[in-house]
Amino acid sequence: MSVTTPSPRSEPTPPDRRRVGVVIVTYNSAEIIEGCLDALLDAAPRSRVDIVVVDNDSADDVADRARSHPIAPTVIETGTNGGYAAGINVGTRALQAGGPPDAFLILNPDCRLAPDSLDLLFDELERNGAGVVAPRINDADGALFHSIFREPTVLRGFASAVLGDRVAGRVRALGEQETRPEAYATAAEVDAASGAVLLIDAACAASVGEWDEDYFLYCEETDFQFRARRNGHRVRFAPNAVAVHDGGDSEVSPRLWALLTVNRVRLFGKFHGRFTTGLYRVAVLLNETLRAARGRGPSRAAVAALLSSRRRRDLYPPVTPDPVTPDPVTPDPRQTN
């Protein structure tokens, strides 16, 4: 694992500003990291921001591009692809080494925060005493991304299989994904939100603990939010803060869709008994089987993974740990404006 820590900026940050630690986990993200960092320049004019980019052994030059960006983040190269949660844990540990920030922002490299949005998320965090706050997310064309999620239940699993996610999501009792437009118009408490952008209060992060690395990718952010709520912390949705998400590969990649599907069942089983989890697994299997019958290739991969333990194991790449553990990293305090 290698670490690059830039020199401090010449203008010190006022000591009375709230401090946000930003963690961006990258993997072959060279084409998008600069846009993500560019947006941070205007996202938090009222906050002090420390940025850590954690690279999970990319084959491109994303680490070099991050180092050379004017925002001057701390760059940590892990030397291995341990997954998204592992990268977040590396980044938050590094930020805590210099004293914990007031909050942590978990940010996907394919997301761009609108001006002032980080400050607006922090305002919502302080105003409502929440543990986690998420923004409204739009896609690259400006269309709303359905980023609010309800706790999964067996009923919701079967309803989504029969009705489809979009229709089931219009009824609170039936859909895991919130699809009512009005739900995205006002600030409210939610069960969970997309992990593409999450602001997490430091006290919440400390009480919940590290992110669960067993997921490798997908559902780890939902797991964290469920644990936060079970520890007494609220999750809030703040539509006045906006992020643009360019999207991911799970919808088109059979392997990633299968991993997402398997992790949905893994997540459910973590919080429910074996019998109820078995019923939920049947619901998810029915959902993917119906999609596969209509010719959807990623769903065929998901069905195979749900039915075969070997296929499930193959979804998680072997991780070769770095034999060298570096000393804690203290990022330099800096402003993004």
Instruction: Report the CATH number that the domain containing residue 129 is assigned in CATH.
Output: 3.90.550.10
Cα separations in angstroms, 10 against 6, 46, 62, 333: 12, 18, 26, 11
Same domain, 144 and 266: no
Same domain, 220 and 163: yes
pLDDT at position 317, please?
A: 73
pLDDT at position 8, please?
A: 39
- Which of 225, 245, 265 is at the close of a domain? 245
Name the pTM for this structure.
0.87
Number of domains within the chain: 2
Residue 87 structure tokens: 């990268």
Same domain, 57 and 183: yes
Same domain, 198 and 269: no
User: Cα separation of 20 and 237, whole Å?
Assistant: 18
Same domain, 209 and 287: no
CB 5, CB 72: distance < 8 Å: no
Same domain, 305 and 172: no
Domain that holds residue 52: 2-245
CB 63, CB 77: distance < 8 Å: yes
pLDDT at position 248, please?
A: 54
Q: Does residue 68 lie in a domain region?
A: yes
- Which of 245, 277, 303 is at the close of a domain? 245
- Which of 188, 222, 245 is at the close of a domain? 245
Q: Does residue 325 lie in a domain region?
A: no
Give Cα 336 to chain centroid, integer Å. 22
User: Cα separation of 195 and 26, whole Å?
Assistant: 14
Q: Which residue has the tokens 């965090």?
A: 125
Q: Does residue 331 lie in a domain region?
A: no
Same domain, 199 and 291: no
Residuewise pLDDT in 10s, the chain (337 residues)? 655 544 333 344 444 579 999 999 999 999 999 999 999 999 999 999 999 999 999 999 999 999 999 999 999 999 999 999 999 999 999 999 878 899 999 999 999 999 999 999 999 999 988 999 999 999 988 999 999 999 999 999 999 999 999 999 999 999 999 999 999 999 999 999 999 999 999 999 999 999 999 999 999 999 999 999 999 999 999 999 999 998 655 567 899 999 999 999 999 999 999 999 999 999 999 999 999 999 999 999 999 999 998 888 888 876 554 433 333 333 333 333 3
pLDDT at position 1, please?
A: 60
Same domain, 29 and 150: yes
Same domain, 101 and 126: yes
What is the residue-wise DSSP string for 84-132?
Answer: HHHHHHHHHHHHHTT---SEEEEE-TTEEEPTTHHHHHHHHHHHHT-SE
Helix axes 220-230, 84-96, angle to 10 degrees: 60
pLDDT at position 318, please?
A: 62
What is the residue-wise DSSP string for 133-194?
Answer: EEEEEE-TTSPBP--EEPPP-HHHHHHHHHH-HHHHTTSTTT-SB---GGGGTS-EEESEE-
Same domain, 47 and 100: yes
